[in-house]
Amino acid sequence: MVEVALVACTWLHLIVLVIWVGHMFSTLLLFTPLASRYVKETDYGDFIAEYRRRDQPVALSCIAIFFITGFVLLLLDDHYERIGSIFANSWSIVLFVKHLLVLAMVGLGIYMGVKVMPELAKASKRLTTENSHKPEMVSTIARLNKTRGAVTQALCGLALLVLLLTAVGEIL
């Protein structure tokens, strides 16, 4: 029975990981360049707001399932000794670093979803509704787009590190 639970949790854990990481990379490689090229400036604010509305439930669901299945996997793993045994063995150290990186990813994702994307949508809507291209508003949108790009790149880099540490943890 433990093997069935282990397989089921591992399978679900990997599915949500693929969705979450795939989402980050598709945002970096597809969303950003295509949105800036094909979405009209007058529609950009609404586009960002709608994207965020659809994006957040997927991302948050993946993160929640990822944490739940990860916790179950931790409890079922033979390498796991107990909470607080961070430096008990090489596997524990790798797992601890991996968890720190995942927490950083979650923090960056929350920052993106709560701060950057809403501000970008509002600034873009304001720019088009006021029918003016005030330099400070244009620079605000440029700064927010640059921040969105940097956070997305950081998320993708952290995701690659988490996957590397997962592979390392498998051979320990």
| Residue-wise pLDDT tens digits, 9-66 | 999 999 999 999 999 999 999 988 999 899 998 899 999 999 999 999 999 999 999 9
Joined together, the tokens standing for residue 32 give: 């950003």
Compute CA 24 distance to the chain's CA centroid, rounded to the nearest angstrom: 6
CB 27 within 8 Å of CB 99: no
Task: List, for residues 129-169, the tens digit of each pLDDT value.
Answer: 876 677 888 899 999 999 999 999 999 999 999 999 999 98
Q: At what angle do helices 117-129 and 41-76 cross, to 10 degrees?
A: 170
Which of helix, strand or coil describes residue 86? coil
Does pTM top 0.95 for this prediction? Answer: no
